Amino acid sequence: TGNESIFSESDSLYLNGEFDKFELSYLKRYFPWEQKTTGLLSGTINVFGKASSPRIELKSLIEAPSFDKITAKSISGDVIYKNDRLYFKGIKLLTMAGEYAGTGSIPAGW
């Protein structure tokens, strides 16, 4: 039935993967916004911990990112999800006008 889960809350997870130049526009239906979003995503993802509270680590580089009318050369950095929060570490945005860096976190509970 539709209510069955492949994991129980106490299951331990260890998943990892790589991606190379994945076009972000393919994910349009999952974005919570309507603005055009494109770019070529490369990097690694690691998911580990208990299924009830996993830690997800994404090390990424997006080449030619664009969001609506904003375009850049690249954006890179680490995104970590843990304890219902998204953490951004070592974020670097490279544009024609210069380089911008940032770090921070936002709530992200589901």
With the C-alpha atoms ordered 20, 68, 31, 106, is the resulting torsion angle positive or negative?
positive
CB-based contacts of 4: which residues, under 8 Å, 6+ apart?
none
Residue 73 is given by DSSP the state: S
Task: Say how far apart CA 16 and CA 61 lie, in whole Å.
Answer: 17
Residues 45-98: tens digit of each pLDDT: 999 999 889 999 999 999 999 999 999 999 999 999 999 999 999 999 999 999
Under the banding of pLDDT at 50, 70 and 90, the label for residue 38 is: very high
Count of CB atoms situated within 10 Å of the CB of 1: 3
pTM assigned to the model: 0.81
